[in-house]
Amino acid sequence: MPTKYPLHTRLLSSRKGHAFTLIELLIVIAIIAILAAILMPVFAQAREKARSVSCISNLKQISNSLVMYGQDYDDGVLAWTKRIDPTVTSRRHLYWTWLLQPYLKNGGGTPATGVLECPSWSTDKLVKAVGAPDCYNDPTYLNVYLPNGPNDGYYSSYGMIFGVQLEDINDPASGFGDGTQTYPYWLTGGSNWIMRDSGGPRPDLDYTRRFGEIVRPAENILVGDGGTWFKSGVASITTLGCESAEMHIKGGNFVFFDGHAKWIARNPERYLMQRKDGAWVKKFFYWAE
């Protein structure tokens, strides 16, 4: 009498000796390649999203430190740099990244570290954004300014709001510009201290902005993606705005004067607002009535 095997045993036994054909192997490989091509961009975008979240966390810590600084200094907005002091032997002591250390207690040296470093920052992204038609429209513009020498200092991958030099403002009550859509009014909310290696100080251009002066704190950037560095023999630089347009998935992270943080697509300086009197203003940098 023949031995009776369970059904599943007979089915397994019936495939004994069967092998994949070349066609079947190629089909499997093709399916795997297609799935990889579909999923890899998704994984890359998820990774960049995580970096963007980390970046916003850094910026929130920086903005909180700026508020604490203001509370200790008569509601003043910290200037991104202070005037050159012959007694200061290290240039890093001149920048906001060092001046915030009593409150931030992180980073402060060069190259940028800790909360002063964006995990997605790269000079390639900066150059690409600057070269865009709605920014400087010149991919070579930043070449002379980028920190790449032994005497250069890269202090942060974030930029801080700066003050507009009073000599450059057509109408301080309305802001820089003429109010047209192509040349809108704007007035940045930062403090201004002219740092000069020669020629002496310009007290007439130095001033401290107060947090209470900002008319639209929810529409004015305090800190954001960009950069702060020193290029030996060229300039000290802090930058944020259209330069950040490629930093995080075709946009950049910013914290505003009211404390809220968000990602803004493309160029944040191109968000325009029209006042009741018909004048156009740059909404995210404009603070005056």
Look at residue 198 and tell me whether its pLDDT is greater than 80: no
The whole-number pLDDT of residue 155 equals 94
Look at residue 105 and tell me whether its pLDDT is greater than 50: yes
The whole-number pLDDT of residue 125 equals 93
Look at residue 167 and tell me whether its pLDDT is greater than 70: no
DSSP code of residue 35: H
Alpha helices (H) along the chain:
7-14, 22-72, 96-99, 101-104, 123-130
Query: In 10 A of CB 288, how many CB atoms?
Result: 19
Q: If pLDDT is split at 50, 70 and 90, which confidence band does 93 have? A: confident
The whole-number pLDDT of residue 6 equals 47
Average pLDDT over residues 213-226: 91
Tokens representing 129?
């954004």
The whole-number pLDDT of residue 5 equals 44
Using the CB atoms, write b or e for 171-209: b if 16+ within 10 Å. Answer: eeebbbbebeeeebbbbbbbbbbbbeeeeeeeeeebbbb
CA distance 33 to 42: 15
The whole-number pLDDT of residue 11 equals 39
pTM for this entry:
0.79
With a pLDDT cut of 70, the percent of the chain lying above it is: 80
The whole-number pLDDT of residue 90 equals 75
Residue 102 three-state SS: helix
Between 114 and 186, the more confident residue is: 114
Look at residue 14 and tell me whether its pLDDT is greater than 50: no
Average pLDDT over residues 200-216: 78
Mean pLDDT, rounded, of the chain: 82
Least confident of 106-110, 188-192, 198-202: 198-202
Mind listing the pLDDT tens digit for each residue in 230-283? 998 888 899 998 999 999 988 999 999 999 999 999 888 878 888 888 988 888
Look at residue 196 and tell me whether its pLDDT is greater than 80: no
Mind listing the pLDDT tens digit for each residue in 127-164? 999 999 988 889 898 888 988 888 888 999 999 998 87
Three-state SS letters, 196-237: CCCCCCCHHHCECCEHHHCCCHHHCEEEEEEEEEEECCCEEE
